[in-house]
Chain A
């Protein structure tokens, strides 16, 4: 069944040269960060770090130069992303924009939108959030209720609530998925995407939601007769569904889908270093085998993307397997090392174990739940 064959990644000397450069940069830039801070990589918000990456030319890497990009290959971008995550760098200030909002703008944005925003993303100066989920539309995104109505002057009046919006409180822009005609019963017909300025939109409020650790990363975003200018439409009115599906393919395809727990694996190896225990060796060997295989598959996805092929199913497979790997790690780690998990501990293993245990439930929710991904894979197998 050829759909399940992952192409071999092409390994090129230029990628490996870049890798050494990135490693050298990161070891400097991240010196002094604790293991716990490294474990929080996804959630670490540090504009200075993002600017420094931008200055290196490592954001917007594949985009045209005319928009501040660097016209480098998908593999070169992959090298930067995986090295950054494996090193536990704080990525939240550029992450969403570089990974998905920028590429969406590049594909569907007007010339003015692209000129105004893409260079700022590539410089690490511009932060985005994703306005997809709602109280009644999570997995079932087509049930979205947030509505944008065209005014006489061409502007949009928006009412509704977006939920779980990661870093809305820091973001410069949101790409809002909303209904521009019809009703939720029409499903994906009549939906559109709007580019919302988070700093200058009257009628927009952001309220924090604490996660189970008590930390503030995601938010509720309310639109109450919010006025959004006419030129904020992204792409084609009514084509929101197709656009948002393309965006999700960007969101699901990368190495972030199996590297969320890597700091815990590093601490585990530090704790077991040189161990003669059969169980320890076998468990670490197994985890390593999973990690190497996932990386190989994920680089295969990058190869498909570079060839311009549809990689949605391959990406779903990597995300599903990757989330399970990341989520299994805390339990395996605690079965091998006798340490009380404690966020406040000075023992790196204990602190990172506590953090990763509490972060893990989100791995198979964010970016599409396990059940939704399995539905996508099953469809590809011809079952639906």
Chain B
């Protein structure tokens, strides 16, 4: 991580954290509030995090740009931060001018762009998973039943241990794919790790959301509580830019195209 990245991470974490907590019910937000929020996001340069310097972007190393995507995943806000990051990257790649203002729909993408967007979603999901874990840990420590905090019950502890394992695995899978792409993997050599990341993080999302809702009880099922910002997003994201089934089949097809004896070499090369 270089120095610029460290500054940007720090700013993004504070900025998005504040916007996330200040946003209240998204549907109640005034258009003035909408405008002010986006202006601060733009001022911090976040929409340009995945765009190269020569195209007017921040010029961060790829892994650092995607670290910002994870930070965005941890603090969901009513503006399409990650979509705009991706739209600007693709516009620059295609020689188009960068976007002014937020972009909600990415339009037609090439296969490589779609795969890259899928990878970014995986990292964004890792951020949301991280947030779900902290929220759930905090909740079971605060909430008491039967005269003690929920955290004191072994059944609850074990559910959180499972949640923790899923969060760790989803994040490790995304980071591994990013390292491969940063090294310059293309074609099947890119499809494999990106597919692995999407399949693993998608499964983590399903399990984590289920456990987080269970341990939050009824309060977590309300519109009022912010848990749904994460879980509804995860349920949608796990099937965007290629559904989980699409990616697992893509990986499976590559594996089954080769001899069984090639399995282990494929694993060590993936």
Contact = CB atoms under 8 A, between A and B. Distances in A.
A283 B238 CA distance: 17
A371 B176 CA distance: 28
A193 B270 CA distance: 42
Interface string B177-213: 0010000000000000101110110010000000000
Interface string A266-290: 1101101111001011111110111
5 contacts: A285-B253, A288-B251, A320-B165, A374-B157, A380-B164
Interface string A176-215: 0000000000000000000000000000000000000000
B22 interface: no
Contacts of B173: 289, 292-293, 296
Contacts of B200: 289-290, 293
A380 B245 CA distance: 34
B2 interface: no
B98 interface: no
A285 B264 contact: no
A86 interface: yes
Interface string A147-191: 000000000000000000000000000000000000000000000
A266 B260 contact: yes
B260 A269 contact: yes
Contacts of B193: 292
A334 interface: no
Given A286-B252, A377-B165, 15 more contacts: A4-B164, A86-B264, A269-B260, A281-B248, A281-B252, A286-B199, A289-B195, A289-B199, A292-B267, A297-B172, A317-B168, A380-B164, A381-B160, A383-B137, A383-B151
Q: Which of B151, B176, B179, B195 has the most CB of A within 10 A?
A: B176
B162 A374 contact: yes
Given A293-B172, A300-B172, A285 B255 contact: yes
A8 interface: yes
Interface residues of B, number: 52
A219 to B, nearest CB: 31
Given A266-B261, A285-B251, A297-B168, A378 B157 contact: yes
B130 interface: yes
Contacts of B154: 375
B179 A8 contact: yes
Contact of B252 (A262, A280, A290): A280
A154 B134 CA distance: 54
B256 A291 contact: no
B247 to A, nearest CB: 7
B16 interface: no
B261 A1 contact: no
B165 A317 contact: yes
Interface size class of A (residues with CB under 8 A): 35 or more
A294 B168 CA distance: 10
Nearest to B156: A383
B103 interface: no
Q: Which of A4, A82, A384 has the most CB of B within 10 A?
A: A4
A378 B162 CA distance: 9
Contacts of A380: 164
Contacts of B259: 270, 273
A321 interface: yes
Closest 7 CB pairs of A and B: A285-B252, A281-B252, A285-B251, A285-B248, A378-B157, A270-B260, A374-B161
B264 to A, nearest CB: 4
Contact of B160 (A265, A280, A378): A378
Contacts of B140: 383
A375 to B, nearest CB: 7
A166 B100 CA distance: 67
Contacts of A262: 263-264
Nearest to B178: A8
The SS class assigned to the A binding surface is: helix
B257 interface: yes
B83 interface: no
Nearest to A266: B260
B62 interface: no
A295 interface: yes
Contacts of A19: 268
B83 to A, nearest CB: 25
B34 interface: no
A382 interface: yes
A378 B172 contact: no
Q: Which of A1, A19, A283 has the most CB of B within 10 A?
A: A1
A294 B222 CA distance: 35
B175 interface: yes
Contacts of A275: 256
A383 B134 contact: no
A377 to B, nearest CB: 4
A374 B256 contact: no
Nearest to B262: A269
Contacts of A382: 137, 141
Contacts of B197: 289
Nearest to B150: A383
B171 interface: yes
B41 interface: no
A31 interface: no
B15 interface: no
Nearest to A298: B172
Contacts of A112: none
A24 interface: no
Given A269-B263, A293-B196, A371 B158 contact: yes
Contacts of B250: 285
Q: Which of B140, B160, B196 has the most CB of A within 10 A?
A: B196
Contact of A284 (B130, B247, B252): B252
Contacts of B270: 288, 292
B61 to A, nearest CB: 14
B190 to A, nearest CB: 14
